[in-house]
Amino acid sequence: MCTRRSERLSTRSTTRPTAPWTSGELVRRQAAQEIGTIIYSLGCFPSQKDLHDFIAKVEEDHTGYIHLDKFLPAMTKVLQEHKFPPISEDLLLQAFEALDKEKKDYLDPEELTKYMTQEGEPFTQEEMEEMLTALADHRNQIHYKDVVSQMTIKPDK
């Protein structure tokens, strides 16, 4: 297929397997994602484990559904207790520095990928790709000092 000078059609294609549409597992995973989005948007920084614990508490008996009247009091409590406090810029920098063994002030994509996909609560391939696109500069290096200062969440107005 010919490419025009200034336009290139780039694609991302994934083949989805035929999903077991009525599987409870699928529904539950979706619930976890949705709840995570909500909790994150409210200013909290839970880990995946924190999220799963929270969901286990509010979920309706393993159906994968979460009722607002259970969610609201639980969430309010989380907010009042500052249970999943934000990560400060300092802490984040230290984290990156810990990964930067050679102390070169940046990370290579391979380095970051290794840690993000093998350690802690590993990223999926999609998450990793997205992170690299977002953080790597034109030299294909991740200068984490710049990244951190630009991406730290400022308090909501």
Partner 1 sequence: MKKCSKVIHSRIVSPCNGSGKCRVSRVKFMARVVFKHAFHLNLKGNLWDCVAAMKAAVLIQRWYRRYIARLEMRRRYTWNIFQSIEYAGEQDQLQLSSFFSFMLDNFTQLNGNGPDLISQLLDPLVDPWLDRETCYNQIHVPESYTGPRLSFPLSVSDTSALLSAFKEQQTLHARYALQLLYETKKLLKQMPNIIHLSTSYIKDITICGDLHGRLDDLLLIFYKNGLPSADTPYVFNGDFVDRGKKSMEVVILLFAYLLLYPDSMHLNRGNHEDHIMNLRYGFTKEVMQKYKTHGHEMLKLFQDIFSLLPVATVIDGKILIVHGGISDQTDLDFLSSIERHKVKSALRFPRHSVGQLDIGQSCRQAKRTRSTDASRPSSSRSQSKNQGTPSLRNRRCGLSRKDSAASNSSSSSSSSSSSLCSPRTPSCLSPRPCPSSPGMPYTINVLQVPFLDSLSSVPAPSPAQHEREWKQIVDILWSDPKTQEGCSPNTFRGGGCYFGPDVTQRLLLRHGLQLLIRSHECKQEGYELCHGGQVITIFSASNYYEEGSNRGAYVKLGRELVPRFYQYQVSRSTRKLTLTQRVRAAEGSALRALKEKLFAHRCELMAGFLQCDQNNTGSVSVSEWAQVLESVLRLDLPWRTLRPHLTRLAPDGSVDYPSCFEDMGPGNPLPQVAPNLAETLFRYRTDIEIIFNIIDKDHSGLISAEEFRHTWRLFSAHLGVDINDRAIDDLARSIDFNKDGSIDFTEFLEAFRVVHKLDSKDQHLSGKMDGEKC
Cβ distance 120 to 60 under 8 Å? Answer: no
Geometric angle at alpha carbon 71, from 69 and 75, rounded to 5°: 130
19 touches partner 1 by CB under 8 A: yes
Instruction: Using the minimum distance from each CB to partner 1, give the nearer residue, 17 or 25.
Output: 17
- In sequence order, the 6+-apart residues with CB closer than 8 A to the CB of 92 are 148, 152
- Report the candidate in 16, 54, 12 with the shortest Cα–Cα distance to residue 35: 54
Q: Which of 108, 131, 141, 143 binds partner 1 (CB under 8 A)?
A: 131
Buried b (16+ CB within 10 A) or exposed e, 126-135: eebeebbeeb
Cβ distance 53 to 47 under 8 Å? Answer: no
139 touches partner 1 by CB under 8 A: no
Q: Which of 24, 29, 30, 48 binds partner 1 (CB under 8 A)?
A: 48
Q: Which of 73, 76, 125, 130 binds partner 1 (CB under 8 A)?
A: 130
Q: Which of 29, 30, 45, 77 binds partner 1 (CB under 8 A)?
A: 45
Question: What are the residues binding partner 1 (CB under 8 A)?
Answer: 1-2, 4, 6-19, 21-22, 36-37, 39-41, 44-48, 85, 87, 91-92, 94-96, 98-99, 101, 115-116, 119-123, 127, 130-131, 133-135, 146-147, 149-151, 153-154, 156-157
